[in-house]
Amino acid sequence: MLWKQIKCGGVDVELMVNHRTVAQPTLFINRKAILLQDGPDYSGLKCVTHKGAKKIGFVESMGNAYASYKLVDLTTRRVSEITYQQARTLGF
């Protein structure tokens, strides 16, 4: 079970992942849920500044098969993918 909480730009953010239950991995932004894909592991919940705006960053991975770097807009709750180089620059 992973439950991580951070504050980013005055916004409460929580990541809940429990693969042992039927609960789907979920990212909460000010208590509003964003359902994540079930199966991958999630880590690295961070508050980053990207293009002048505070965003939430995290890593989605499946063992050694792949790692995908995600950003979530705090206002629109839109999830987008960034490259490894961008993630590294942002401090992932």
Domains of the chain, by residue range, sit at: 2-90
**Residues in the chain, total:** 92
Q: What is the pLDDT of residues 2-32, one digit of tens each?
A: 789 999 999 999 999 886 776 789 999 999 9
pTM above 0.85, yes or no: yes
Closest C-alpha among 73, 66, 71, 64 to residue 87: 71
Question: pLDDT-based confidence at 90, cuts 50/70/90?
Answer: very high
H helices within the chain, ranges in order?
84-90
